[in-house]
């Protein structure tokens, strides 16, 4: 009887745990892609906002513990062996229900089919980047890239290619209109399933590839995500004499960002731990993820003053976090009193980025600095309207290049890799790097050539070429 009691407990508790975990994940992250889930399980999650962890404990762990206590108390009084037989049958049914529920939420069957489908799409379209693929003249501009967490062009109003009656990012809309932006009538960059979380977004922008996690990676944590044998944006700029720095207000070890940045010639990684070690922040000024965006931008001002005094050009990346799902972080001075908290976080981020750009305009180095503002991926917050037309924001300030017809492009963040370099004044062989196409050129992007759905599916399919030549895994 003891064996049957334990077996019944496992058959019921395991699917219960999985069900609660999926429900919590959906509420916090709005049905994340299966690639995101696998990737998260494969990497370090230290530095996560405690509110998210507490939410998981209250929603998943505590109910399972309560159920376990009740189960073993009640089981002491069960004498009939048949009850455990019925419980085991119920457990098996529960597991089948879970599988159907997971498939409904994460398109499990579709993703399994894609992972088993051998594809040559990446092999046929990939252009290997080398340090000689890009050339600069002697007049090199500085580069600042602002990765705005979950920033979408969709937050604009309908008159500006957004999805809402109200414009939640009026300042970023203004910057897009005044400068170079590849936001068209349908919005900005298309979201790719294999670039739908922060690290994947950074990798796509800086290398022209996406991240393809596999179940094996869960047991081989972080080793597959440094991409040591490819050449990235920071590698190219470092080779051409740039100082390179990456700033973020959270712990850089989260999501294997540290492994990727260290593998690709980033001189200084200025994260929460770096700020603490160098007495740049006070504990009382920190919040969930770490340093607030408004404080991060103030720290970036000091770094820029230092970098601008050097004899060589600089490349500074800044990753914001205040608009991270599920609810974001807003501030009284910029919050929307009549709106839900997440939209207040969006409006505050819009204001803080704009104020930072206005500050930069007053600096001597501004005119010789190309500034790129872009979203890393679509928002995972369940507070955002569900719509297939959601797109990712981008704007390039002080671009050294011009193109008349930039409002008709269909593209993804992988195309920003060669585009940023070209905007910086570099010449690129064939206007292609990785899987990306220079958007200033007349070359078709993968999405323009094959269509969004096909590209998205092909990048999720199994690619021996990708594993051996890009990710360097077997």
Kindly report, residue by residue over 114-171, the tens digit of the pLDDT: 888 889 999 999 999 999 999 998 889 999 999 999 999 999 999 998 999 999 999 9
Residue 444 confidence class, pLDDT cut points 50, 70, 90: very high
Say what the pLDDT of residue 40 is: 83
Contact 242, 140 (CB under 8 A): yes
CA nearest neighbour of 199 among 217, 212, 182:
212
Say what the pLDDT of residue 421 is: 98
CA nearest neighbour of 44 among 194, 257, 263:
257
Say what the pLDDT of residue 405 is: 63
Say what the pLDDT of residue 223 is: 54
Indicate whether 333 pLDDT > 80.
no
How is residue 76 written in tokens? 């002491």
Question: In this structure, are strands 243-248 and 268-270 parallel, antiparallel, or unpaired?
Answer: parallel
> Residue 394: in which H helix or E strand, if any?
strand 394-397
> pLDDT tens digits, residue range 74-126?
888 887 888 888 899 999 999 999 999 988 888 888 888 888 888 999 999 99
Residue 224 confidence class, pLDDT cut points 50, 70, 90: low
Say what the pLDDT of residue 31 is: 82
The strand ranges marked E within 275-313 are none
| Percent of the chain whose pLDDT exceeds 90 | 69
Owner of token pair 């498939």: 103
Say what the pLDDT of residue 203 is: 97
Indicate whether 435 pLDDT > 60.
yes
Orientation of helix 34-42 relative to helix 198-207, angle to 10°? 100
Q: Report the chain's mean pLDDT, rounded to a whole number.
A: 91
Say what the pLDDT of residue 188 is: 95
Position with higher pLDDT, 238 vs 387: 238
> Before 470, cis peptide (omega within 30)?
no
Average pLDDT over residues 382-403: 91
Contact 262, 269 (CB under 8 A): yes
Q: How many whole angstroms separate alpha carbon 35 and alpha carbon 151?
A: 20
| Ranges of H-type helices in 107-227 | 108-116, 121-125, 170-178, 198-207
Say what the pLDDT of residue 258 is: 93
Residue 404 confidence class, pLDDT cut points 50, 70, 90: low
- Count of C-beta atoms within a 10 Å radius of residue 192: 27
Position with higher pLDDT, 369 vs 25: 369
| Percent of the chain whose pLDDT exceeds 70 | 96
Indicate whether 250 pLDDT > 70.
yes
Contact 207, 471 (CB under 8 A): no
Q: How many whole angstroms separate alpha carbon 3 and alpha carbon 9?
A: 10
Cα dihedral: 117, 121, 123, 124 (round 10): 150
Average pLDDT over residues 381-410: 87
Say what the pLDDT of residue 337 is: 57
How is residue 271 written in tokens? 């994260």
Indicate whether 372 pLDDT > 90.
yes
- Count of C-beta atoms within a 10 Å radius of residue 359: 15
> pLDDT tens digits, residue range 251-285?
999 989 999 999 999 999 999 999 999 999 999 88
Say what the pLDDT of residue 32 is: 83
How is residue 355 written in tokens? 């104020």
Contact 149, 376 (CB under 8 A): yes
Q: How many whole angstroms separate alpha carbon 272 and alpha carbon 282?
A: 11
- Name the DSSP letter for residue 37: H
- Name the DSSP letter for residue 415: G
DSSP per residue, 83-114: HHHHHHHHHHHHHHHHHHHHHHHH-HHHHHHH
Average pLDDT over residues 54-76: 92
Indicate whether 185 pLDDT > 70.
yes
- Name the DSSP letter for residue 70: H
459 burial via Cβ count (<10 Å: 0-12, 13-18, 19+): buried
CA nearest neighbour of 373 among 191, 186, 153, 164:
153
Average pLDDT over residues 329-347: 78
Contact 419, 438 (CB under 8 A): yes
Residue 407 confidence class, pLDDT cut points 50, 70, 90: low
Contact 459, 121 (CB under 8 A): yes
Q: How many whole angstroms separate alpha carbon 134 and alpha carbon 429?
A: 7
Report how far Cα 83 is from the mean position of its chain's Cα atoms: 48
397: region left, alpha or beta (phi > 0 left; psi from -120 to 50 alpha): beta
Say what the pLDDT of residue 220 is: 67
Report how far Cα 364 is from the mean position of its chain's Cα atoms: 32
Owner of token pair 């959601």: 390
Say what the pLDDT of residue 62 is: 96
Indicate whether 474 pLDDT > 60.
no
Owner of token pair 């004499």: 241
């Amino acid at each position: 009887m003891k064996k049957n009691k334990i077996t019944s407990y496992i058959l019921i508790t395991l699917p219960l745990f999985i069900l609660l975990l999926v429900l919590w994940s959906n509420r916090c992250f709005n049905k994340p892609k299966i690639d995101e889930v696998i990737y998260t399980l494969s990497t370090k999650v230290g530095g996560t906002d405690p509110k998210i962890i507490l939410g998981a404990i209250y929603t998943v762990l505590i109910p399972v513990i309560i159920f376990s206590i009740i189960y073993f108390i009640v089981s002491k009084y069960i004498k009939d062996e048949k009850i455990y037989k019925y419980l085991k049958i119920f457990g098996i049914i529960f597991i089948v229900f879970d599988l159907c529920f997971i498939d409904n939420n994460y398109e499990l069957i579709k993703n399994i089919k894609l992972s088993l489908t051998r594809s040559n799409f990446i092999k046929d379209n990939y252009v290997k980047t080398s340090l000689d693929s890009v050339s600069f003249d002697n007049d090199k501009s500085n580069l600042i890239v602002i990765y705005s967490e979950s920033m979408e062009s969709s937050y604009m109003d309908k008159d500006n290619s957004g999805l809402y009656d109200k414009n939640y990012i009026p300042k970023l809309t203004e910057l897009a209109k005044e400068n170079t932006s590849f936001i068209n009538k349908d919005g900005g960059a298309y979201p790719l399933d294999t670039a739908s979380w922060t690290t994947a977004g950074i990798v796509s922008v800086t290398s022209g590839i996406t991240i393809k996690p596999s179940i094996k990676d869960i047991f081989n944590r972080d080793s597959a995500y440094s991409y040591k044998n490819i050449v990235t944006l920071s590698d190219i700029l470092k080779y051409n004499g740039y100082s390179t720095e990456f700033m973020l207000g959270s712990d850089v070890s989260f999501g294997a960002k540290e492994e990727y940045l260290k593998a690709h010639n980033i001189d200084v990684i200025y994260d929460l731990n770096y700020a603490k070690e160098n007495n740049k922040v006070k504990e009382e000024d920190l919040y969930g993820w770490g340093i607030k965006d408004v404080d991060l931008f103030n720290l970036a001002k000091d770094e820029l003053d230092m970098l601008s005094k050097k004899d060589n050009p600089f490349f500074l990346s800044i990753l914001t976090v205040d608009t991270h799902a599920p609810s974001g972080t807003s501030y009284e001075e910029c919050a929307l009193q009549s709106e839900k908290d997440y939209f207040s976080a969006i409006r505050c981020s819009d204001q803080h980025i704009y104020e930072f750009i206005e500050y930069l305009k007053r600096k001597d180095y501004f005119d010789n600095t190309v500034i790129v503002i872009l979203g890393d991926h679509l928002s995972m917050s369940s507070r955002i309207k569900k719509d297939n037309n959601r797109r990712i924001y981008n704007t390039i300030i002080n671009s050294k290049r011009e193109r008349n017809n930039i409002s008709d492009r269909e593209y993804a963040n992988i195309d920003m890799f060669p585009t940023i370099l070209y905007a910086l004044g570099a010449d690129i062989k064939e206007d292609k790097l990785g899987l990306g196409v220079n958007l200033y050129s007349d070359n078709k992007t993968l999405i323009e050539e094959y269509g969004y759905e096909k590209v998205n599916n092909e990048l999720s399919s199994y690619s021996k070429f990708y594993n051996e030549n890009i990710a360097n895994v077997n």
